[in-house]
Amino acid sequence: MPAIECPRCFTELEYTGEWWTGIACECENCKGILADNDWLESNLIQEDYHRLRARVFRGSPGEILCPYCLSVRPRRPIGMTKFTVSPGGKSYEIDGCQKCGSMWFDHGELVPYEEGGDDEPSVDGAGKKKDSGGDLDALDASIHLLDMLFNIFLSF
Ligand SMILES: [Zn+2]
Ligand SMILES: [Zn+2]
């Protein structure tokens, strides 16, 4: 696995445990998440995946370079395209790469789902499940990402 740098902090991203397919990694510092094309394609419903891809091509130039293209041979600086979706009145900005299909999700885009928990059984205060180790955090991150994507597709 190549070392991939956070496009915001320039620190090395951590692979978030066993994801099903493809590469998804998280920045320990800013908590942004990068998901590569394989991951998105295999974890999303085909139709949603293609709609999301189409949005990348209609987006406007973003401020960050694709961390995946910068890290994987041949290393190339590819500017990502940003687009905004607004599910349920919340706005999310997503950066996508037209070349490799990776997408970058800033931590802010995940926050509403960390605090919301609409479809999770409510747990008291600091009642975060602590019964297993770091793998749970990785799983949480993937679930947050899937939750967020699910909500985004509702807005299309
Ligand atoms: Zn970062
Ligand atoms: Zn790329």
pLDDT (tens place) for every residue of the chain, 156 residues total:
678 999 999 999 988 755 567 888 889 898 888 999 988 888 888 888 888 899 999 999 999 999 999 998 788 999 999 988 776 677 778 899 999 999 998 876 544 444 444 554 444 444 444 444 455 565 666 666 777 777 666 655
Centre of ligand 2 to C-alpha 131, Å, is 37
Domain residue ranges of the chain, discontinuous segments joined by +:
14-154
Centre of ligand 1 to C-alpha 96, Å, is 16
Contacts of 100 (CB under 8 A, 6+ apart): 36, 37, 66, 68, 69, 72, 78
Distance, CA of 77 to CA of 64 (rounded, Å):
10
Centre of ligand 1 to C-alpha 121, Å, is 30
Protein residues within 5 Å, CB atom, of ion ligand 1: 6, 8-9, 27, 29-30
Centre of ligand 1 to C-alpha 11, Å, is 6
Centre of ligand 2 to C-alpha 113, Å, is 26
Counting ligands in written order, the one closest to the CA of 35 is 2
Q: Is the dihedral of CA 109, 111, 114, 115 positive or negative?
A: negative
pLDDT at 103: 94
